[in-house]
Amino acid sequence: MIEEAFYHTPFEIACHFSQTTNFFLPQGPNCFRMRARKSPFASPTLLTSIMPTSSPAIIDTHQHLWDLAKLELPWLNGAGPPLAGKHWTEEYAKATEGLNIEASMYMEVDAAADQKQREADTILGLITSGKTTTRYAILSADPGKNGFRKFVDQFRENDAVKGFRQVLHGGSTPAGYCLQPKFIENCRYLGSLGKTFDLCIRPKELKDAARLAEACPQTRFVLDHCGNADPKAFFPSNDSRRGTPDHDADQWRQDMATLAEQENLFCKISGIVARVPDQWNPDDLRPIVQHCAEAFGESRIVFGSDWPVCKMGASLQDWVAALTQIITPWSADHQSRLWRENALAVYHI
């Protein structure tokens, strides 16, 4: 089994990269097997000391849901634990027990191209039922493709659909893809509808995201996963866990600062825990969270669980506990903005 599976986004989690798709695809039966992890909060006493007596109200802006028996996700063909099978609302409810999840926002899961409509219909049916915390959705749509506006227009009056996403990191997606004229024009169109666009892009192409946001000043963009920062890039050079980071830490800091200059661009604190090495602790994530907060300010950061992909590194509970420890020095208002208030503003909830 490969010890470390590098990926840039929720889906780049397998062992070998395929140039024919947008995702890392599994090679062999053990490729998606979850590495044995020890929670940094294995001691109940430690976890209790970190988590507040009552959980803060949380809006989870990055909830993945899938049932592989009902929806085809080509990037998960042959997958094993922790991502194979069913990860639906019942499993999410169990994963969030004890947390005050006020609402969750479904994030598209890159279903097979001929199942995008089924994905949308299924999730909107779930939202309409009102039986779960899932209240809103970011659906899959590629602004660089013909038919984008026709697909989007069916949701223009649906307030549950807050925006759209197309991952931009795969081997079949060239650098600069988001800067082609059609892509830019369609992102501007989203702005005219009051819809957002979530950006999931390679860390070495963050400047492309900044240029896109600058070209579409009336559209709100949300940068997923702290710009796909690799925690290992911030480890000391003598840390045996460091390995070969996916990017340079200083370049990431500079690029994130450049992104933050675009006032219509927001940063989602998510995804990074899925990339932690063995024997991790909250301090491993602190440099990333702190820089995002400093660059984007109190009003332009939002929380996302990235469940169930977060389980590649930690449980959802441990991710929340780690983030809680990291932001303990922040004011109560600043913390509330991250967990809840900013999501209301960014996604017009």
Q: Mind listing the domains of the chain with CATH numbers?
A: 43-346 (3.20.20.140)
Q: What is the mean pLDDT of residues 288-311?
A: 98
pLDDT of residue 169: 80
pLDDT confidence of residue 17: 27
pTM, two decimals, is 0.88
Beta bridge pairs of residue 101: 58
pLDDT above 90 coverage of the chain, percent: 77
Region 289-316: mean pLDDT is 98
279, burial (CB in 10 Å: exposed 0-12, middle 13-18, buried 19+)? exposed
Using one digit for the tens of pLDDT, what is the confidence trace for 60-90? Answer: 999 999 999 889 998 888 888 899 889 999 9
Question: Can you give 88-149 as a three-state secondary structure string?
Answer: CHHHHHHHCCCCEEEEEEEECCCCCHHHHHHHHHHHHHHHHHCCCCEEEEEEECCCCCCCHH
Query: What is the average per-residue pLDDT within 191-204?
Result: 98
pLDDT digits (tens, 9 = 90+) for 132-173: 999 999 999 999 999 999 999 999 999 999 999 998 887 778
What residue type is 261 in one-letter code?
A: E
For 20-55, what is each residue's pLDDT tens digit?
Answer: 333 332 323 333 444 445 677 654 434 445 555 578
Answer whether 15's CB lies under 8 Å from 322's CB: no
What token pair was written down for 260? Answer: 């933050």
Predicted pLDDT at 53: 54
Half-sphere exposure at residue 156, Cβ-oriented, CA atoms within 13 angstroms = 12
Does residue 338 carry a pLDDT above 70? yes
Please, is 159 exposed, middle or buried when counting C-beta atoms within 10 Å of its C-beta (0-12, 13-18, 19+)?
Answer: exposed
Q: Is 226 left (phi over 0), alpha (psi -120 to 50) or beta?
A: left
Which residue(s) pair with 106 in the sheet?
A: 63, 137
pLDDT of residue 19: 31
- Mean predicted confidence (pLDDT) in 97-101: 97
